[in-house]
């Protein structure tokens, strides 16, 4: 056994030494070898094969070998790169790096072209300074629903931490009692997303153009509630009707509670946990009394301005509307039928990602100290 182990150790050592030796060959060393093979009257293909056999991954490309082979055959003896024309390499020296850094401290939205004009070097040199020397990267600002105050950030973090503690105590039984709901507009036309209009084309084909279109004014308001098992209700609000607190109460009495009784009778016995946002219609005193006192349902605390923590906003509505984008409907009835079909289709595919995804988002919100999650 010891002999086998010793033999394997020798093989590993040899392999390691070979890799180190391969990596030790510089560009100059490789060019010297190419020049030597020219003296031996080897062809570029033969030279490349020998180099590849010896250097493996450290071997230059065939085009590089052929280029230097041709230069040596033409009488060249130099193995170093010739001096290049253009601006000197001093454009990336410490002085220029310090000047770029100082300008960025004044305004970090400078473009490479503007910095090049200020300092008097090329844009490519500025790009090298920014990326290689200063290790910078340019990132566009992301859109967020609301500029949150310190108090709102603390509230988001506190509420999410409280929900996480409860989830650790109760597990999935807590999540499976949650019913998420909200209102949204269904329109007769929703423009496609840029990603949805992408096409596979042959090289050289022109890039397709697409006119920017606004969402249609023909629209219908829908109230949707769902849980981990699927869709509970998709209610189309009559045209011209505003969802006020009184209308919301009527919807709960006549539509939501009967739907839960019909589809989730066991959930009605356990006591649903309602998750909706802080819209005025949802927070009206009579609505809270209806849930808490008359029905004995719990309302899950939801932070202000937090669509990223609402399953309707981060899961249900985007998935339904993506299926409707690019399609036209002539009447409100057609819009309602199409919206309901997509709601039903999404429910068949599964809604667990919407409710179960809350845990990940609560945890991320806490980790980000209350800031918005993606």
3-state SS track over the chain = CHHHHHHHHHHHHHHHHHHHHHHCCCHHHHHHHHHHHHHCCCCHHHHHHHHHHHHHHHCCCHHHHHHHHHHHHCCCCCCCCCCCCCCCHHHHCHHHHHHHHHHHHHCCCCCHHHHHHHHCCCHHHHHHHHHHHCCCCCCCCCCCCCCCCHHHHHHHHHHHHHHHHHHHHHCHHHHCCEEEEEEEEEECECCCCCHHHCCCCCCCCCCCCCCCCCCCCCEEEEEEEEECCEEEEEEECCCCCCCCHHHHHHHHHHHHHHHHHHHCHHHHHHCCEEECCCCHHHHCHHHHHHHHHHCCCEECCCCCCCHHHCHHHHHHHHHHHHHHCCCECCCHHHHHHHHHHHHHHHHHHCCHHHHHHHHHHHHHHHHCCCCCCC
The pLDDT tens digits of the residues spanning 175-233 come to 999 999 999 999 887 765 655 556 566 666 776 666 555 556 789 999 999 999 999 99
Name the average pLDDT for the chain. 86
**Length of the chain (residues):** 374
Least confident of 17-31, 153-167, 197-211, 308-322: 197-211
Tens digit of each residue's pLDDT (9 = 90 or more) over 38-81: 889 889 888 888 988 888 878 888 888 888 888 888 888 787 77
Query: pLDDT band for position 85 (50/70/90)?
Result: low
Q: What is the pLDDT of residues 269-301, one digit of tens each?
A: 899 999 999 999 999 999 999 999 999 999 999
In angstroms, the CA 136 to CA 100 distance is 11
| Confidence at residue 265, expressed as pLDDT on a 0 to 100 scale | 93
Closest CA to 217 of 187, 190, 244: 187
Q: In percent, how much of the chain has pLDDT > 70?
A: 86
Measured from the Cβ of residue 125, the count of other Cβ atoms closer than 10 Å reads 22
CA distance 303 to 146: 12
Maximum distance among all Cα pairs of the chain, rounded to whole angstroms: 98
User: For a pLDDT cut of 90, what percent of the chain falls above it?
Assistant: 47
Confidence of residue 369 (pLDDT cuts 50, 70, 90): very high
d(CA 190, CA 329): 10
**pLDDT band with cut points at 50, 70 and 90 for residue 5:** very low
Between CA 275 and CA 314 the distance in angstroms is: 13
Within 8 A by CB and 6+ apart from 257, the residues are 268, 295
- Ranges 21-30, 84-93, 144-153, 347-356: which has the least confidence: 84-93
Q: Is 207 or 24 the better-scoring residue by pLDDT?
A: 24
Round to whole Å and give the CA distance between 306 and 355.
15
Rounded Cα gap, residues 287 and 251, in angstroms: 11
Across 31-35, 165-169, 214-218, 266-270, the highest mean pLDDT is recorded for 165-169
Torsions phi, psi of 102, nearest 5? -65, -40
Q: Residue 136 has what pLDDT?
A: 87
In contact, 193 and 219? CB cutoff 8 Å: no
Q: What pLDDT is attached to residue 68?
A: 86
What pLDDT shows up at residue 11? 42
């Amino acid at each position: 056994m010891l002999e086998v182990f010793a033999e394997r150790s020798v093989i590993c050592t040899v392999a390691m030494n070979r890799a180190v030796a391969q990596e030790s060959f510089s560009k100059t060393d490789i060019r010297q070898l190419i020049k030597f093979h020219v003296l031996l009257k080897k062809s570029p293909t033969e030279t490349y094969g020998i180099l590849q056999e010896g250097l493996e991954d450290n071997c230059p490309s065939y085009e590089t070998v052929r280029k230097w082979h041709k230069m040596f055959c033409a009488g060249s003896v130099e193995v170093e790169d010739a001096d290049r024309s253009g601006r000197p390499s001093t454009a990336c020296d410490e002085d220029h790096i310090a000047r770029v850094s100082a300008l960025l401290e004044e305004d970090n939205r400078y473009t490479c072209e503007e910095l090049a004009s200020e300092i008097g070097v090329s844009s490519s040199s500025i790009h090298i300074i920014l990326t290689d020397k200063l290790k910078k990267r340019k990132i566009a600002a992301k859109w967020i629903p609301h500029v949150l105050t310190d108090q709102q950030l603390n509230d988001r973090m506190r509420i999410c931490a409280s929900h996480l503690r409860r989830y650790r105590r109760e597990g999935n039984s807590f999540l499976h009692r949650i019913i998420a709901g909200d209102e949204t507009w269904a329109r007769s036309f929703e423009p496609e997303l840029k990603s949805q209009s992408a096409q596979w084309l042959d090289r050289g084909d022109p890039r397709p153009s697409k006119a920017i279109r606004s969402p249609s004014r023909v629209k219908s308001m829908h109230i949707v509630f769902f849980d981990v098992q699927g869709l509970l209700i998709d209610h189309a609000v009559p045209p011209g009707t505003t969802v006020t607190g009184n209308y919301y109460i009527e919807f709960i009495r006549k539509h939501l509670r009967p739907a839960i009784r019909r589809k989730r009778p066991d959930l009605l016995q356990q006591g649903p946990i309602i998750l909706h946002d802080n819209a005025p219609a949802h927070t009206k005193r009579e609505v809270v009394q209806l849930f808490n006192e008359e029905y004995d349902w719990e309302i899950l605390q939801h932070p202000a301005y937090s669509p990223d923590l609402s399953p309707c906003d981060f899961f249900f509505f985007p998935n339904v509307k993506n299926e409707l984008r690019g399609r036209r409907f002539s009447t409100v009835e057609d819009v309602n039928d199409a919206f309901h079909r997509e709601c039903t289709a999404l429910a068949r595919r599964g809604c667990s990602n919407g409710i179960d995804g809350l845990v990940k988002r609560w945890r991320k919100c806490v980790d980000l100290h209350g800031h918005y999650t993606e």
